[in-house]
Amino acid sequence: MREYKLSRLKRWVLSLITDEDMYSSIREDLEYRFVEDLEKKGFLRVKIQNTFQFFIIIVPLMIESLFGGFAMFKNYIKTAFRNIKRHKGYSFINIFGLATGMTVCLLMLMYVVNEISYDDFHKKGDRIYRINVDWGKEGSRMKFAGTMPAIAPALNTEIPEVEVAARVRTNNEMIILNSQNEKIKESQIFHADPEVFDIFSWKFLKGNEATSLKDPFSAVISQKIAKKYFGTEEPIGQTININDNLYKVTGLLKDFPTNTHLRCEILVSYSTIQSLGEYPEQPWTQWGDDLTYFVLRENSLLNSVEDKLNDLLNQNTGKWFTDKMEFIMQPLSDIHWDTESRGDVGVKGNIIYVYLFLSAAILVLIVACFNFMNLSTSRYLDRMNEIGVRKVVGANRAQLIRQFLTESLLVATVSMICGIVLFNILNSSLYSYLDASFVSSTSHFQYLYGMVVLMIIIVGFMAGSYPAWFMSKFHPVDIMKKSIMKGSEKLSFRNVLVVLQFAISIILILGTMIIYQQIDFMKNTDLGFDKEDVVLSYLPFTNPQAFHQSPSQREVPRFEE
């Protein structure tokens, strides 16, 4: 029987609201049901069902422990909905304000998530390193992402601390001839050792991970490429013409997420390079475009790999070489932020932008919460009769606070639903304007769900805290005698809120205007030439002499994206 363990988050939530015995019973039940269901249904379905069952179990327990039963909870929800209905204008501003704030916050957080989640989907991710090179004389040193092709085989055979190592060679754009004999430019073509699939957790849809890149002239392609060149036909076994060589398609990869530095749309076997006559033997002094990745064995030290690699370098080269050469072991998670190394691949990130976006997201959310607080406390007189009656019949302050927090959580939930609708409408148009396609990437949606739940809780509590504290503090006698008049209480905290809210709003609006003008300037400023009819083209290496022929003879290759 398979074992299944409840996720840490679920266990934590469970332990918060139950005692030890109940926790143990519920955990056993959920884990047992998971394994039992798995025999009949698919993994994903069982997982969703199990989460659903988890909520069925904990929601009543939570209501039980917070409100002492369903009766009061039902009453709070009913009162909240009645209040929303009675003051439609207020409710609309309140909900719409929160929804807008949440949407903007989500949009910005998606960018942040995309940046900080770079390459985090690899199972061995925390043990993957890339070997970079620091090369040159003192004072004129440069860093390179590429290393010697001789390193990876040596790592595999001679250094026991390395679990597996592989080379990935970056290439310039290559020309693919499709079935209509059209020349098409492709940039994401890499030569790779078969071991890359042991390092990176790329998902194989068809083909064999161990053998598909073994033979020369074999290629593993992504779904996107398969669709582009073979349409609906079965891609495995087809041939693909890259730079006038025929490659056999031996594997199909699931499309890459956007948040990875290494997007290998087409992988061709590394052995092809030797077959084409380059690098017949691999001297340690020859290096160029080969990125070398390796997985450190568990419980091994990175230092010992580095020492042994330096020893190997000393054995295989002379002092003139080792003096100039220094290896850098770069963790996988650092690659996205590394802007120094030359010959690197992928989009680079800037941590300052991430902080900027993160703080702007938080500020927007805070403004939305302040707005909510002001609106709910400004009409506190409407609720005074209700609060007075509740107090007279025995509600204590803690219960009233709970009631108002329930209310604000409810409003936050409704706002979030509106916010998600807005988010879906806005994200595609915003990111196509910003020229970033990452939101369509499904790998972020797991974070999105978490953020949505977290945001409801944070906003609900933050926005509801002050109104709950404020409205529950009056003495019932004062309420009944109507001695709390409008303005008799100096709402100084509210004044502070209003000032803060306006200040933050003004800062954000000004910032947005400046950035917008900058982008506008970048796009529309006069460059001194008409950029409409200017083409930037990279020459294909296959036919460089075409450039030297006279214009009438010149055969201009037709490129298509």
- Give the footprint of other proteins on this chain (CB under 8 A): 1, 3, 5, 18-19, 21-22, 24-29, 31-33, 35, 53-54, 56-57, 60-61, 63-64
Q: Output the smallest distance, CB 153 to other proteins, in A.
A: 44
Residue number with CB closer to other proteins (25 or 314): 25
Shortest Cβ distance from residue 398 to other proteins (Å)? Answer: 19
Residue 96: CB minimum distance to other proteins, A: 35
Query: Rounded to the nearest 5°, which phi and psi values hold at 119?
Result: 60, 25
Interior angle at CA 351, CA 347 and CA 356, nearest 5: 115
Pick the closer one to other proteins by CB: 64 or 198. Answer: 64
Q: Tell me the CA end-to-end span of the chain in Å, nearest whole number.
A: 51
Please state, in angstroms and as integers, the Cα–Cα distance from residue 358 to each residue in 110, 213, 351, 419, 441, following that order: 10, 42, 10, 18, 20
Q: Minimal distance in Å, beta carbon 22 to other proteins?
A: 5
CB of 15 to other proteins, least distance (A): 13
Q: Which is nearer to other proteins, 50 or 114 (CB)?
A: 50
The Cα–Cα gap between 184 and 229 comes to 10
Shortest approach of other proteins to residue 449 CB, angstroms?
A: 21
CB 191 within 8 A of CB 243: no
Q: Which lies closer to other proteins via its Cβ, residue 21 or residue 526? A: 21
Please say which residue, 5 or 86, places its beta carbon nearer to other proteins.
Answer: 5
- Residue 28 vs 244, nearer CB to other proteins: 28
Q: Find, among 91, 75, 92, the residue nearest to 83 by Cα.
A: 91
Shortest distance, position 382 Cβ to other proteins, whole Å: 34
Pick between residue 20 and residue 281 the one whose CB is nearest to other proteins. 20
- Token pair in block for residue 456: 């409801």
The least CB distance from residue 68 to other proteins, in Å, is: 10
Q: Which two tokens stand for residue 179?
A: 């079935």
Which tokens in the block code for residue 444? 């972020």
CA–CA dist 547, 544 (Å, integer): 6
The widest CA-to-CA distance across the chain, in whole angstroms, is 100
> Which secondary structure element, helix H or strand E, spans residue 308, and what is its range?
helix 302-316
Minimum separation from the CB atom of position 65 to other proteins (A): 8
**Of 27, 34, 29, the residue nearest 12 (C-alpha):** 27
Minimum CB distance to other proteins smaller for 5 or for 203: 5
Residue from 362, 414, 443, 377 nearest 117 by CA: 443
Q: Which tokens sit at 475? A: 């003495």
Angle between helices 351-378 and 88-116 (to 10 degrees): 170
Select 22 or 498, whichever has its Cβ closest to other proteins.
Answer: 22
| Location of structure tokens 């310039």 | 172
